[in-house]
Structure 1
Amino acid sequence: MAKLTLKPDATFRHTVYIPVPGGEPAAVEFVFKQRGRKAMAAFTEKHKEAWTADTVLDCAEGWDLAESFTRENIELLLENYPQALFAVVDGYIDEVFNARQGN
C-alpha cells in the first residue's frame, strides 16, 4: 500500500480514453497537474463558461502521443476528435476527486 504524504507530487499520470468515431476508444496517458480542493475550485470556476484547449493546457502538461504537447497539437486533437475535450477534462476532474481507492 502506498504511504500517504501531506504534500503530493506536483503531477500524476492518468490514462484517458478518447472516443474514436467508428472505432474503439484510444488510450492516451496524460500527465496532469495535481491540485488541492481550493485550487480545483478555482480551476472549475475559471473554466465554467466553456472548456477549450486552454482548459487542457491548464490541467495537463504532457501526454504519451508521438506529437509534442503544444497548443497547436491540442487544438488538432480537439478538432479531429470532438469528444476528446470532454474525455480529457472529465478524466482529470474524476481522477482528482475520485482517485482509485484500490482493494
Structure 2
Amino acid sequence: MAKIKLGNRPASFKKTVSFDMLEGGKGTIECVFKYRTKSEFGEFIDKLIEAAGATPKDDGEKFSMADLMDRTSGANADYILDVLQGWNLDEDLNKSNVQQLADELPAAAAAIMETYRTAVTEGRLGN
C-alpha cells in the first residue's frame, strides 16, 4: 500500500476513456488530464458558468452540469482543451481537432468531460 503524503499533488494523470461508438462498438482514447483539486475544479466550473451567462435558478430548480454543457456546446472544445494535456490520437490536440471529435463522436467528448469531473470531484479513476 502506498503511503499517503498530503501536498504531494501530481501535475497530471492518465486515464483511458471509453465510450460507445455510433455503429455500436466501443471506442477508447487515452487521455492525459491536468490535475486539479476538488476546490480548483469548483473554481473552474464557476468560470464556465459565468462565461455561459448561466445564473442560479430562483425557482428552486437544481443546477445541472448537463444543462450547462448543452448551453455551452460551442465551448466544449475549450473545456476539453483546458482539462487535457495530451491524448493518444494521431491528430494533434488542438481546438479544431477537438471540435471535430465532438462533432463526429459526441459520446467521446461527453465521456472525456465526465471522466474528468468524476476523477477530480470523487477521486475515482476506475470504471
Identical counterparts, % of pairs: 31
* Residues paired across the two proteins, number: 102
Where do 1:35-74 residues align within 5 Å? Answer: 35-48=36-49, 49=52, 50-51=72-73, 52-74=76-98
Structure 2 counterpart SS, 1:67: coil
Cα offset, 1:44, TM superposition: 1.6
TM-score normalised by structure 1 residue count = 0.85
Shift in CA distance, 65/101, structure 1 to aligned 2, threshold 3 Å: closer
Q: Name structure 1 gaps, 5 residues minimum.
A: none
Shift in CA distance, 2/66, structure 1 to aligned 2, threshold 3 Å: farther
TM-score normalised by structure 2 residue count = 0.71
| Amino acid of the structure 1 residue aligned with 2:43 | A
Shift in CA distance, 101/38, structure 1 to aligned 2, threshold 3 Å: closer
Give me the whole-angstrom Cα distance separating, in 2, the residues matched to 1:101 and 1:85: 17
**Does residue 1:33 correspond to 2:34, yes or no?**
yes
Contact kept, 8 Å, 2:16 with 2:31, in 1: the verdict is yes
User: Stretches of 4+ moved more than 6 A in 1?
Assistant: none
Structure 2 counterpart SS, 1:83: helix
Give me the whole-angstrom Cα distance separating, in 1, the residues matched to 2:80 and 2:4: 27
**Does residue 1:16 correspond to 2:7, yes or no?**
no
Shift in CA distance, 31/79, structure 1 to aligned 2, threshold 3 Å: same
Question: Residues 28-51 of structure 1: CA distance to partner in whole angstroms, max 9, x if unpaired?
Answer: 110001001221101122224425
* Structure with bigger gyration radius: 2
Structure with the higher fraction of residues in helix conformation: 2
Give me the whole-angstrom Cα distance separating, in 2, the residues matched to 1:98 and 1:26: 24
